Amino acid sequence: MFGIPVNMLIFQIFTGVVLGMIFILLAIGLSLIFGLLTVVNFAHGAFYMWGAYVALLCMGYFGNFWVGLMIVPLVTGAVGMAIEYLLVRRLYGLNPDYPLLLTFGISLTMIEAIRILFGTTGYPFNAPVFLQQSVNFFNLFSFPLYRIFVILVTAVIIFSLWLFLEKTNVGLIIRGGTRDSEMVRVLGIDISKIWLMVFGIGTGLAGLAGILAAPMRGVYPEMGVAMLVECFVVTVIGGMGSLKGAVISGLLLGQVVSLTSLFRPEMSNIVIFIAMAVVLLIKPSGLFGISGLLE
């Protein structure tokens, strides 16, 4: 196809799936927070970066990737809950620009804190030894085992989150709160506890994306900046507040970026913005978004 060997094309498609999975973890967190709290969380990329640095500390202290994989979402989720409780909560019901500016300032603070503590240079981050090998698919191509691991972990997370939101009472409250938080309050439910939990889940998923991406992208203070921009594009295309949209658009844009890098590398950094412009021209609320969510 266009002079590209079939094995290279299939390899790039698999690479797009991996990138899409990282997009999905970040976009789901953004969509959860926005859907319930109507907060555009500009600190989301910083939590992604913090997840990678917490993983780096866990590797230094415990020398174990699996310990980091368990600790990172707990730490980043806890930090997110503290920020929601102490800062973001005070701005609910006000102009949406206020929490946006607040989280933007929090993001800059988190990045500067990492620069002060760890310096401005990046750090390598190795996957577990047994995940550093490659898997041969029918003698067509070899694909890194770690990237297959990322695909499987993200798939499990997506399915678990779906079960939580669709099959539990708490999930029902969260879904109800995204549609009408006043009605949830009338039913006698403390919606502030739900806000706290959702913010923690969203930031915990961002931290998890950080540790999963670290062996592929390295660890450095600005790693969340570019990823945040791409994540917002994924969320906007899928529809703000739509989890289904986050999953589908994440997979689609992962393929778009990966295949563009193969055929037209010079276009790989702008193709997602072209895709966003096309989608918004056709459907301003995104593929699965709800019109007037901010009104």
pLDDT digit string, tens, across residues 187-232: 777 778 888 898 999 999 999 999 999 999 889 999 988 888 888 8
How far apart (Å, rounded) are the C-alpha atoms in residues 90 and 107?
A: 18
Least confident of 76-85, 135-144, 271-280: 135-144
pLDDT tens figures, 46-69: 999 999 999 999 998 888 899 999
Q: Find the DSSP H helices in the chain.
A: 6-37, 44-62, 65-86, 97-118, 145-167, 169-179, 181-186, 191-217, 223-238, 243-263, 271-282
Structure tokens at 129: 């030894």
pLDDT at 178 exceeding the cut of 70: no
- Count other Cβ atoms within 10 Å, centred on residue 267: 12
Per-residue pLDDT, averaged over 68-74, amounts to 94
Per-residue pLDDT, averaged over 109-113, amounts to 94
pLDDT at 111 exceeding the cut of 90: yes
How far from each other are the two terminal CA atoms of the chain, in whole angstroms?
A: 47
Give the model's pLDDT for residue 36. 72
Phi-psi region of 64 (alpha: psi -120 to 50; beta: other; left: phi over 0): beta
pLDDT at 7 exceeding the cut of 80: no
* Burial classification of residue 199, based on how many CB atoms lie within 10 Å of its CB (0-12 exposed, 13-18 middle, 19 or more buried): buried
The band of 72, judged by pLDDT with boundaries at 50, 70 and 90, is very high
Share of the chain above pLDDT 70, in %: 93
Q: Are 220 and 123 in contact (CB under 8 A)?
A: yes
How far apart (Å, rounded) are the C-alpha atoms in residues 76 and 72?
A: 6
pLDDT at 241 exceeding the cut of 90: no
Domain residue extents for the chain: 15-112+144-282
Buried b (16+ CB within 10 A) or exposed e, 86-106: eebbebbeeeeeebeebbeeb
pLDDT tens figures, 258-276: 888 888 888 878 888 888 8
Q: What does the chain come to in residues?
A: 295
Residue with token string 């980091």: 68
Share of the chain above pLDDT 90, in %: 38
Give the model's pLDDT for residue 89. 87
